[in-house]
Amino acid sequence: MFPASGAQRRPADHTRALGSYHGQPSSVSLLVESNIVQVPFMAQTPALSKIEELLESIVDAIDNGDEISIPYESIRSSQTGAEPEPQDGNDRPLNAVKFPGRTTQEVKKFEALFRIIEMSHEALLTGNLITKRNIYYQNPDLFKSQNAVDDMVDNLAFTLRVGREDLNIVATAKGLVSGPVDLMLRDGSIHSCDSATDTGLLLPSVSLIEKINFRLVRWVLVIEKEATFRTLATSQYAKLSRAGHGLLLTAKGFPDLATRRFLSLLHTLRPELFLFALVDFDPYGVAIMRTYKYGSQRLDHEENATAPRLRWLGIQSDDIMSSVSADYQATCDSSQSEASQSDASQDPASQESLSHSVVGSQDERPFKRHRVTNRQEPSDSVLPLTERDRKKAVQMMREISGVGNMDDEEAHQMRELQRMVMLNIKAEIQAVDKYGDTADWLDAKLHMRASTSGSSGAGGLITATRPCSHEMTALHPLLGS
């Protein structure tokens, strides 16, 4: 059980109370108030003034009959350190979009960028949020593709040195959350995240959240796979976990900015929360976990989008070794048992004894049959790395080593990637399933990591050890793949 910080259970119908009753406040109402945290109101960014400066410069250029120029920097070229290349063989740099353009393509690019600036300006004035998807469908013939809109919006924010949401432009909601938490929005509505459905609550933009009622939540689990999230949400694991109440969060794969900012908000509002990540044991799972924790290289100009205290719960090499080793040992025991029974069946004395045993058991109550299930074999859940996986692993190791002095967590991530490449294996979260249920494994892991948190610089980090000989034997069929 996670430490409760003095919190006590309270009746469910009091969970949304915002203040004390008339007269002397009850202990229940005081508890409710202590679990409701105000989200700091974001001060107005310079995005509006910068956009209006752009629009004023455009008007001035038109009045003077000059060429119109809109500053425009590419995130990609900035990260690679490449100098802006001349456009169409002339000295017109790509860090500005100009009108009239010398090509049709340049004219269309100016028109598309101006349209995005115009829509952002209108959204900032009205206080409304618009999605990148909505921008695209306003004029699909102009923008050509959704990716073109995504890149242009991100590059515009990068050029103005503001965040994407500072432009009042957001991505279509993608993240899901499930657990005993209430999100109180600025429009007065309250969204409970502990609905009985398996779908979870679609995450609203952080800018729309005014307060969060954490109730008795003590941990947050970020899950890579939507299928795993839905399984745990359906079973109400966030409420029924032996580790106490928690919150489940997923971005359905690689994290989007909105989900990262929500996790960062939880990280800031409740520093005592335990934050864990559950991802596949492959280079992409490590990349997803690191993006939540350290941020995205592509969007490193975005603020409030990291969770430094996030811990890698699993799955890791020790989980794979223990799971595969257990299955391998069970297979060996089963084979030995069948061989012994076969030898015994050929002995006449044993045959007679078995006959008397069966006859004598007719009046006895039969034992309950074991549940039969289509449990995956180790070879189904543990697979060899592909060439693409190996390249990604090398890329991740270079990224980690490039930070200079690695801390304990980064050193552990490096070792896990090295073992992944050395053993030539990867595994999905389902590798630790017990008849399709990860609850027992999660209970043990959450309790172990929480109980050791604070006792080491890695927050209860379990350092992987060298695989034992019988574990290597269990993995032998995969090592040769």
Across 186-297, the runs of DSSP E, i.e. the strands, are 190-192, 201-202, 209-213, 219-223, 246-250, 274-278
Angle formed at CA 125 by CA 122 and CA 127, multiple of 5 degrees:
100
The three-state secondary structure class of 406 is coil
DSSP assignment, residue 390? H
294: annotated active-site residue = no
Provide φ and ψ at 282, rounded to 5°: -155, 170
Return the structure tokens found at 406. Answer: 């690695």
Query: 400 vs 306, 321, 397, CA distance in Å?
Result: 16, 24, 5
Q: Which amino acid is at 348?
A: P
Q: At what angle do helices 257-269 and 283-294 cross, to 10 degrees?
A: 50
The partner residues of 176 in beta bridges, in order of sequence, read 202, 250
DSSP class of residue 147? H
Secondary structure of 325-360 as H, E, C letters: HHHHHHHHHHHHHHHHHHHHHCCHHHHHHHHHHHHH
Q: Which of 72, 136, 137, 237 is catalytic?
A: 137
DSSP-based three-state secondary structure for 156: helix
Task: Let me know the angle formed at the C-alpha of 263 by 120 and 124, rounded to the nearest 5 degrees.
Answer: 15
CA 238 to mean position of chain CA atoms: 16
Which among 276, 340, 263 has a CA at the least distance from the CA of 307? 263
Active-site residues, by number, are 137
